[in-house]
Amino acid sequence: MVRAVGSIVLAMLASACAPHLYSPAGGDDGAADTDLWTAPVNSWTSAAPPEGLVGEGMEEGQVVLDVRGTDQFGAEVSLWQFYGSVVLLDISTLWCGPCQDLAKHAESVYQEYKDQGFVYLTVIHENVEGRDPSAEDLNLWAGLPATVLDGEFDLITAPIIADPEGVSGSIGAVRNGSYPAALVIGRDLKVVQRLDPVSDGTIKAGIEAALQ
């Protein structure tokens, strides 16, 4: 029942997706080299990035900034811990209708490619009220696949993390206040492609190209 009510709330707010955009975090947030990088303690796959690697930005060809946040289970997750895997970085908000649509199919995409060394990493900036997302918000998001009629999956099992106001640098991937933003990250942690438009089709094409 909670899931159903939450889905209704999301659907109501999706029709009024006035974009919110914060300024990038100050200082060197997200851009520290591996001398300062520490592996978070969580149950997700993890491989240390190469020594001396430096985060450069969110544009194609750059070493991606280390986005870090708390996942739906309350553990800290680092984008850089997925070194060696292809990562789809999906940056969304709970109030965004197109973001919700992507989330409904996120688990099927994850399951289709995960055995090839793929991770679907969702970063949530805001809840439906435009505030910092809570653990409850992340778990609500995880249940969105259940709203797809005859869907194969009911729950997103891939990591979903909260990065309020883009404090770890993920806001740099958002252009013109538009969500969702989606980046394909290569096994070397370099941005392979910024998807535009963002759709199930472009996501799969981008993932398959990076996995080759």
Can you give the pTM of this predicted structure?
0.85
User: Domain tally for the chain?
Assistant: 1
What proportion of the chain, given as a percentage, has pLDDT over 70? Answer: 83
What is the distance between the terminal CA atoms of the chain, rounded to a whole angstrom? Answer: 42
Please state, in angstroms and as integers, the Cα–Cα distance from residue 110 to each residue in 7, 53, 121, 123, following that order. 21, 27, 9, 15
Residue 23 lies in a domain: no
Please state, in angstroms and as integers, the Cα–Cα distance from residue 32 to each residue in 46, 56, 175, following that order. 18, 9, 23
Residue 135: count of CB within 10 angstroms of its CB: 13
Residue 134 lies in a domain: yes
Which domain does 187 fall in, by range? 2-15+40-211
How does pLDDT run across 41-60, given as a tens digit for each residue?
A: 999 999 999 998 999 999 99
CATH number at residue 99: 3.40.30.10
Q: Return the pLDDT at 130.
A: 95
Residue 20 lies in a domain: no
Q: Return the amino acid letter for 74.
A: G
Residue 64 lies in a domain: yes
How does pLDDT run across 102-151, given as a tens digit for each residue?
A: 999 999 999 999 999 999 999 999 999 999 999 999 999 999 999 998 88
- What backbone phi and psi angles, to 5 degrees, belong to 27? 70, -150
Residue 171 lies in a domain: yes
Residue 125 lies in a domain: yes
Residue 116 lies in a domain: yes
